[in-house]
Structure 1
Amino acid sequence: MDYGTYRGIYTLILLILFLGIVYWAYKKSSKKDFDKIAESILDDEDVNGTPHKKESSNGND
């Protein structure tokens, strides 16, 4: 096999890998998990799992 054949096989492997990732990302069953992960960013918890102390927003300390 020559260099061009190896490049073609490598390109085909990368194309299949790309299409697999796209399929995984857009399938219906992944949407629920991705939505949960996206909403977890907005959770009001510290890294240790303890809630943050709410501070007053009026500026009077």
Structure 2
Amino acid sequence: MIMDINTLRSIVTVATFFVFIGIVAWAWSGRNAKSFEEAAQLPFKQDE
């Protein structure tokens, strides 16, 4: 069966949506909060 271009576009759109949801879930997970907080403070740290 030959895949129609619109079917391919739909599959890519759905896959991209799931990747986006995965990135959002990773960014908001509690496991990463400490490392993100440390990274956020890096510009404010002074060299010793």
- Give the TM-score, by structure 2 length: 0.87
The structure number with the bigger radius of gyration is 1
Identity of aligned residues (%): 33
Task: Describe the SS at the equivalent of 1:44.
Answer: coil
Question: How many correspondences in the alignment?
Answer: 46
- Give the TM-score, by structure 1 length: 0.70
Q: CA RMSD in A?
A: 0.8
Moved over 6 A (4+): none
User: Runs of 5+ in structure 2 lacking a partner?
Assistant: none
